[in-house]
Structure formats: structure tokens, C-alpha cells
């Protein structure tokens, strides 16, 4: 039950911050954004104190660990792959142009001969 109350409180904090952002539209945008961000930080801290919040925090930690395990391609591999993709795009574009030109010629031949 305490988790539900904490999550409801976090949602209320966010809603109050958004409402305050628009209610104080005559104030400086900088101050309104700073207040909104501060409220979001407080709401996040409240939400993390719940079981679902801790689960999300654990998931984010695990995701960060997995991203660190990724083997990123070298610059040379990236450039080579990009050039291969560009070459294939050009080849396919030329092929589609030739097919389209042939079909246009064939349809024009049928229409002209049909008159």
C-alpha cells in the first residue's frame, strides 16, 4: 500500500509541476524549466523508493552493463560498411530506373499500337 501512495505522490508532484509551468507563464522560461526539472528529480527520487522503482533502477543498471559489453566497430569497418551500403543503393536505384524505363516503353508501345 505504501508503494501505491508513493507512486501517487510522484505522479501528483509531476502534475503539479506541469500545472505550475503553465500557471506561471508570465515568469521567466528559465525559472519555470528549472522548477519543472527540480520537481521531476524529486518525483523520481520518491518513485525510486518503491519496489517497482527499484526494479526499473535495477533494469537500467543491467542495461548499462550490457551496453559496456558491446563490441563497437572500428572506424575502418564503419566506413567500409557505409560505402558498401551506398554502392548497393546506387546499383538498386539504377536497376529500378531501368525496369521503370522498360515498363514505360512497353506501356507506351501498347497504347500507341492500340490506337
70 DSSP assignment: -
pTM here? 0.56
Q: How far apart are CA 44 and CA 17, in angstroms?
A: 13
Interaxial angle between packed helices 29-48 and 2-23, expressed in degrees from 0 to 180 and rounded to the nearest 10: 180
The tens place of each residue's pLDDT in the chain, 115 residues long, gives 888 999 999 999 999 999 999 999 999 999 999 999 999 999 999 999 999 989 999 999 999 999 999 999 999 999 999 999 999 999 999 999 999 999 999 999 988 876 6
Residue 80 CB coordination number (10 Å): 12
Amino acid at each position: 500500500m505504501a508503494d501505491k501512495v508513493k507512486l501517487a505522490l510522484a505522479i501528483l508532484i509531476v502534475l503539479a509541476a506541469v500545472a505550475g509551468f503553465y500557471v506561471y507563464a508570465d515568469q521567466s522560461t528559465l525559472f519555470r524549466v528549472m522548477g519543472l526539472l527540480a520537481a521531476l528529480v524529486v518525483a523520481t527520487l520518491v518513485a525510486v523508493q518503491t519496489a517497482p522503482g527499484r526494479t526499473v533502477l535495477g533494469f537500467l543498471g543491467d542495461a548499462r552493463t550490457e551496453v559496456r559489453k558491446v563490441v563497437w566497430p572500428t572506424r575502418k569497418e564503419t566506413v567500409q560498411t557505409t560505402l558498401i551500403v551506398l554502392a548497393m543503393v546506387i546499383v538498386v536505384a539504377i536497376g529500378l530506373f531501368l525496369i521503370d524505363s522498360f515498363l514505360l516503353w512497353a506501356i507506351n508501345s501498347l497504347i500507341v499500337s492500340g490506337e
